[in-house]
Structures are given as structure tokens and as C-alpha cells.
């Protein structure tokens, strides 16, 4: 396994977390390097989105520590937590645009909520962010008028509105066509390099995200099972890594979710 990346802005140390008595993480360790693109990958159900909620302080680990810029998230006060979140941008899986607001107001929303900037400056910032994602011309359109790829780009402009230090992407390529996927990948890379921000990308699109990631972590069974560049992961001998990287249906990650004996359940002998 590759050594941790240096100069981390987010450190996840020995994190244990369960939900409804179901273990999600059991000694998870991840370093997110400052100014780089870090991919967090893994099969469905491995807790990728849960990890993002832990990083942003929406959830608290049962054990272990999650530090953002050297400060433990679980010990932050409400004010400190909100201040930390203002330094983060979030691109949700479905874009999560506010359907009753036009494109301009969607991007302006965090500025109106968290600042007292004059309208002239808000207008300047919003149009600048929309221009950066190639959609300045859509500023008066409603979300229902946008394609899936365009909506994702507007959501990316909104995530940049507060000039965050960290942008978190939750499955940014889900449901996109190949052209839109390429556009989003190029934007993530270009914005990260141009602005010097830190990008955390949660995805199961191995080859696509691997093409832009500086560090990649593969999670399974509540831990990191491999880390490194895509070519390093593909050479890893761990059967779980091989199954995930090759997209094989058969392997350590089962097809069936754990349940009672099939025959016993069909015969009604299993108590619900």
C-alpha cells in the first residue's frame, strides 16, 4: 500500500463508525493532501457518502479523529463548524439546484446567505463563476431548462461562489453522457490547478476519475484496502481491488445482500 500523501488538509485517523448497529468504518485512515485532487472509491455501500458527512461534521465518528486543517471536527463548536463549512464547496450527486430560482440566483444563494456583499459585487462574482464553467449565457434560465450536464456545471459554479479552500464532489459523473462527463472532468482538473484548491472526489468511475486524481483511495470492509495511482491499484494483488478495478461480477464483494436462508424464507419458516 502506498504511503500517505504529505501536507494533508484533511486527516482521517483510526475512524470507527456504525449506523443502527451496522459497522460502516473500522479503523479508516485517509490523508487528503492540500492543493491536490483525491479520489475516494469503493463498491456501493462502502460508506463513501457517509465519509463526506463525517468530514463536514454532519456525523460524528464513534472513535478516531477527523481533522480539517489541524482541527478536530468532532470537538468544534457550532460557530466553528459553520465557519469550517463556509470554507468548503459541495457538488451534490444530483446537482441539488433550487428549482424555484433561476441560474443566477442559484449561484448567488450562498453569497446572499453568508455575506453582506453589495448587489453589484454579487453580480460580478456570479457571472465570473458561471463564465468559468462555460454557462454565463444561461444566467436567466430555470433549472428545468437545463440538461443534466449543464445543471451539474451550474451546481459547480455555486460550489465555488464563496471561493472555498476545499470542494467536495459526491459522484459528480453519475448519470452523465460521455461528452458531459469529459466536460466535468476537465473543469474539476482545471479549477483545481488554477485556483490551488483541494478537491475530494467520491466516485465509482475508476478510469475517468483516475485520469485526473493525484491520490486515490479504495475502501472496502470499513477500511482502505489500497491507495495510489490507478496503474498502481490495477497491479494490486488484493482480490477486492482486482474485482473493483476490473468490474467483475464475481469476487469477494457478493452479489446478494446478507439475508436469511433462501429456502427457509420461501417456506415461511423465517420470522420477519
Q: Residues 164-222: pLDDT tens digits?
A: 999 999 888 877 788 888 888 888 898 898 888 899 998 877 777 878 888 888 887 78
pLDDT at 243: 64
Residue 248 confidence (pLDDT) above 60: no
Q: Report angle CA 90, 96, 98 to the nearest 5 degrees.
A: 120
Beta-strand pair 223-227/215-220: antiparallel
pLDDT at 127: 93
What secondary structure does DSSP assign to the chain, as a single string? -PPPPSSEEEEEEEEEEEETTEEEEEEEEEEEETTSEEEEE-STTSSHHHHHHHHTTSS--SEEEEEETTEEGGG--HHHHHHHHHTEEEE-TT----TTS-HHHHHHHHHHHH----HHHHHHHHHHHHHHTT-GGGTT--GGGS-HHHHHHHHHHHHTTT--SEEEEESTTTT--HHHHHHHHHHHHHHHHHHT-EEEEE-S-HHHHHTT-SEEEEEETTEEEEES-HHHHHT---HHHHHHHHT-SSSSS-SSPP-S-HHHHHTT-S--
Q: And the C-alpha cell for 269?
A: 419458516
Question: pLDDT tier at 254 (50, 70, 90 boundaries)?
Answer: low
Beta-strand pair 37-41/22-33: unpaired
Q: Give the whole-angstrom CA distance, residue 73 versus residue 53.
A: 11
Domains of the chain (ranges; CATH) run 8-87+164-266 (3.40.50.300)
Give me the residue label for grid cell 490507478. 230
For the chain, what is the mean pLDDT? 82
pLDDT at 187: 86
Residue 224 confidence (pLDDT) above 70: yes
Percent of the residues in the chain that have a pLDDT greater than 90, as a whole number: 22
Amino acid at each position: 500500500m502506498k504511503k500517505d500523501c504529505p501536507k494533508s488538509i484533511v486527516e482521517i485517523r483510526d475512524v470507527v463508525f456504525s449506523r443502527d448497529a451496522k459497522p460502516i468504518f473500522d479503523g479508516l485512515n485517509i490523508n487528503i493532501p492540500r492543493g491536490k485532487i483525491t479520489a475516494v472509491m469503493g463498491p456501493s455501500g462502502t460508506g463513501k457518502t457517509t465519509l463526506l458527512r463525517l468530514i463536514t461534521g454532519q456525523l460524528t465518528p464513534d472513535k478516531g479523529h477527523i481533522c480539517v486543517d489541524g482541527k478536530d471536527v468532532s470537538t468544534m463548536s457550532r460557530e466553528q463548524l459553520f465557519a469550517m463549512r463556509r470554507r468548503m464547496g459541495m457538488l451534490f450527486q444530483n446537482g441539488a439546484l433550487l428549482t424555484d430560482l433561476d441560474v443566477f440566483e442559484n449561484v448567488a444563494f450562498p453569497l446572499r446567505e453568508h455575506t453582506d456583499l453589495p448587489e453589484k459585487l454579487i453580480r460580478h462574482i456570479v457571472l465570473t463563476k458561471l463564465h468559468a464553467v462555460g454557462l454565463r449565457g444561461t444566467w436567466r434560465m430555470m433549472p428545468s431548462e437545463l440538461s443534466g450536464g449543464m445543471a451539474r456545471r451550474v451546481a459547480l459554479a455555486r460550489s465555488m461562489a464563496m471561493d472555498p479552500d476545499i470542494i467536495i464532489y459526491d459522484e459528480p459523473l453519475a448519470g452523465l453522457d460521455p461528452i458531459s462527463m469529459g466536460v466535468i472532468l476537465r473543469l474539476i482538473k482545471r479549477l483545481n490547478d488554477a485556483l490551488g484548491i483541494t478537491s475530494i472526489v467520491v466516485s465509482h468511475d475508476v478510469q475517468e476519475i483516475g485520469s485526473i486524481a493525484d491520490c486515490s483511495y479504495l475502501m472496502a470492509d470499513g477500511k482502505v484496502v489500497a491507495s495510489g495511482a490507478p496503474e498502481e491499484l490495477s497491479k494490486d494483488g488484493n482480490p477486492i481491488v482486482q474485482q473493483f478495478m476490473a468490474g467483475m461480477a464475481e469476487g469477494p464483494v457478493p452479489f446478494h445482500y446478507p439475508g436469511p436462508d433462501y429456502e427457509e424464507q420461501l417456506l415461511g419458516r423465517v420470522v420477519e
